[in-house]
Structure 1
Amino acid sequence: MINVTKLNGDEFTVNADMIEFIEETPDTVISLISGKKVVVKEKKEEIIEKVIEYKRKILII
């Protein structure tokens, strides 16, 4: 799970395993495998780093 921020400033958690792809159009849009799309403040590279960090944590345990 990773924390991201909506454009209105609200923080929420996304299941990193549900991310299908990420676009910058110029806002960052996370598309989930369910078809839902979420627009967030973080840049694509930040989200990728958060996912990598999350995966490292769960694989070490």
Structure 2
Amino acid sequence: MPAGDASDAPRPPRAGDAARLARIFGDALPETTRDERGDDERRDDSGDSWLRSQVPPHHG
């Protein structure tokens, strides 16, 4: 094949590519961040409760 073959060049994006990717993979990132939403849930990360929540199920 010649070095300047047209099949090696990247193709321009088509109009439906973004919609197709969103339909297949969904939205990768949320529209807002946690601090913008105001999720003020306070978790008890102190002491043994955090440690116990990190134990894998097979180590019961």
Structure with a larger share of its residues in helix? 2
Q: Which has the larger radius of gyration?
A: 2
* Higher strand proportion (structure 1 or 2): 1
TM range, smaller chain: under 0.3
Q: Structure 1 length normalisation: TM-score?
A: 0.21
TM-score, normalization by structure 2: 0.22
Higher relative contact order (CA 8 A, sep 6+): 1
